[in-house]
């Protein structure tokens, strides 16, 4: 019975390998494309905006987070269970939290810069923040990474003593991590993500409110020739991103709750959580003119290559038949 249960579990985990690999490949392609386009512009001496700096950092953090999470999944389920491996898995998991925290901080920074550049507030505080943050985007990115590293260091320091003590004792649950089953880690997980998410929601609401009031005034004005499509497009983008990030936060919270409270790793939900940023990056490519143009060129080149190869094979087949 135990062998049958273990076999069923192994089949279940092997069944998740395909979607995990698909999500990983898609993430590497999409994020690498975003990074490559912006870095190429920078190397060619073209203008790189504050948005581009944040998008590059965001792509790197998402790609690293997805890679470490997939690596953790493969090592946990396809490698033999050893105590040293358990230490390695815990370190990989901590790196995953670091990159995820960096992703959230950078997403919040992107939303804040978006709000500061587009919103039409004229208070002294708003103008000061606009001048300080927009002109010092690189420093803000560095601060976001340092705050993520601080959260990572706190998380690692909390379970590292117990993990090292486990090397001198017989561990009864080697398949589970040291930090599972402890509410303190769930508290640290939530508080590490709560502040940047709060900043994100505040900036998104302020931006949407500013755009809504601005479009309302423009519609009420006597000048009916004003085109509001651009404003509606931005409002739609903000609403979509707001809903999307809320879904990501709920999924991450469910994963953390089951892990820290019940010591259960919902790997299928982690795969979905890895794939969601890929969808957001794809939407970012679609909404950004520069990225959309470059993606169109890449797809066109791929299609031309495939059709050229097909025509070559057809021509060779005809020549063989003629001979």
CATH of the domain at 200: 1.20.1070.10
- Check whether residue 110 and residue 38 sit in a common domain: yes
**Residue ranges making up the domain that contains 257:** 2-287
Average pLDDT over residues 108-128: 86
Residue whose entry in the numeric block shows the structure tokens 């998104």 = 204
Average pLDDT over residues 50-71: 90
**223 secondary structure, DSSP code:** -
- Check whether residue 172 and residue 60 sit in a common domain: yes
- Check whether residue 217 and residue 73 sit in a common domain: yes
- Check whether residue 170 and residue 121 sit in a common domain: yes
- Check whether residue 162 and residue 309 sit in a common domain: no
- Check whether residue 70 and residue 159 sit in a common domain: yes
Q: Is the pLDDT confidence value at 173 over 50?
A: no
Indicate the pLDDT class of residue 58, thresholds 50, 70 and 90: very high
What angle in degrees, to the nearest 10, is found between the helix axes of 17-43 and 2-15? 30
With residues binned 3-state (H G I as helix, E B as strand, rest as coil), the percentages for the chain, rounded to 5, are 85, 0, 15
- Check whether residue 200 and residue 52 sit in a common domain: yes
Which tokens is 148 given?
């993520």
The answer to whether 236 and 212 are in contact (CB under 8 A) is no
Q: How far apart are CA 115 and CA 92, in angstroms?
A: 35
Closest residue by Cα to residue 293 from 33, 21, 6, 17:
33
Q: Is the pLDDT confidence value at 225 over 50?
A: yes
Indicate the pLDDT class of residue 175, thresholds 50, 70 and 90: very low
Q: What is the pLDDT of residue 9?
A: 57
Domain count, the chain: 2
- Check whether residue 126 and residue 163 sit in a common domain: yes
- Check whether residue 275 and residue 305 sit in a common domain: no
């Amino acid at each position: 019975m135990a062998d049958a249960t273990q076999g069923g579990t192994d089949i279940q985990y092997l069944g998740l390998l395909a979607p995990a690999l698909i999500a990983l490949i898609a993430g590497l392609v999409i994020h690498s494309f975003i990074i490559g386009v912006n870095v190429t512009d920078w190397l060619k001496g073209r203008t790189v905006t504050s948005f581009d700096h944040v998008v590059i950092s965001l792509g790197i953090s998402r790609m690293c987070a997805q890679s470490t999470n997939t690596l953790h999944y493969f090592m946990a389920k396809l490698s033999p269970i050893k105590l040293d491996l358990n230490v390695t898995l815990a370190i990989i998991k901590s790196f995953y939290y670091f990159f995820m925290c960096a992703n959230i901080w950078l997403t919040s920074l992107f939303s804040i810069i978006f709000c500061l550049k587009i919103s039409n507030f004229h208070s002294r505080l708003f103008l000061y923040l606009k001048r300080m943050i927009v002109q010092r985007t690189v420093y803000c990115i560095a601060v976001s990474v340092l705050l993520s590293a601080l959260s990572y260091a706190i998380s690692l320091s909390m379970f590292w003593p117990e993990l090292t003590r486990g090397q001198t004792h017989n561990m009864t649950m080697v398949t589970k991590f040291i930090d599972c089953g402890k509410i303190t880690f769930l508290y640290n997980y939530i508080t590490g993500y709560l502040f940047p998410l709060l900043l994100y929601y505040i900036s998104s609401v302020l931006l949407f409110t500013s755009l809504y009031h601005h479009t309302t005034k423009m519609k009420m004005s006597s000048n009916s020739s004003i085109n509001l499509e651009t404003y509606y497009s931005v409002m739609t983008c903000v609403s979509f991103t707001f809903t999307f990030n809320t879904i990501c936060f709920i999924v991450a919270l469910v994963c953390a709750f089951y892990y820290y409270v019940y010591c259960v790793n919902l790997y299928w939900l982690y795969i979905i959580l890895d794939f969601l940023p890929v969808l957001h990056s794809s939407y970012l490519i679609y909404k950004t003119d520069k990225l959309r143009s470059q993606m169109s060129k890449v797809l066109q080149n791929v299609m031309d290559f495939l059709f050229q190869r097909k025509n070559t094979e057809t021509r060779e087949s005809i020549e063989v038949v003629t001979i």
